[in-house]
Each structure stands twice: as structure tokens, then as C-alpha cells.
Amino acid sequence: MIVESLDPEGPYGAKEAGEGPLHPSLPALSNAVFDAVGIRLRELPFTPAKVLKALAEKNARSTPLAGGRV
């Protein structure tokens, strides 16, 4: 449901929209996870389940096949 109203703090009564993804803390968190565990998360939210899944995928890619072949 859309509720039309003016925001006295915004220019011409506009409300904030779209600034959230530009916030610098989100890429900083992504970089911190990458620095800590070596996985790159590219979609929000960064949940424990997504981190565990990415770690499992990373481990599956780096585990050599039987017989020592990669």
C-alpha cells in the first residue's frame, strides 16, 4: 500500500529512497568477511546460512579429486 505524504526534511517534500544501498558500511562488511574467511558475499542480507553455504562451496572447489587429480 502506498501512502502519499510530504517529508518536511526532504527536498521538495521527497523521501529518502535508494540511499541505503550506497551506504559505505555494506561493502566494508563484505570486505571484512572476505578478509576473515576468503569468501565474497555479493547479495544482502549476509546471513550465517549464506556464509556457511559459500564456505562449503569454496571447500568443495578446493578439495582435490580422488587419485590426486584436480
- Where are the chain's structural domains? 23-64
- The pLDDT value recorded for residue 36 is 94
Q: Is the pTM of this model over 0.85?
A: no
30: Cβ contacts below 8 Å, ≥ 6 apart? 40, 41, 42, 46
Specify whether the CB–CB gap between 19 and 25 falls below 8 A: no
- The pLDDT value recorded for residue 14 is 72
pLDDT in tens, the chain (70 residues): 666 777 777 777 777 666 655 678 888 999 999 999 999 998 888 999 999 999 999 999 987 765 555 5
3-class DSSP state of 23: coil
- The pLDDT value recorded for residue 49 is 95
- The pLDDT value recorded for residue 9 is 75
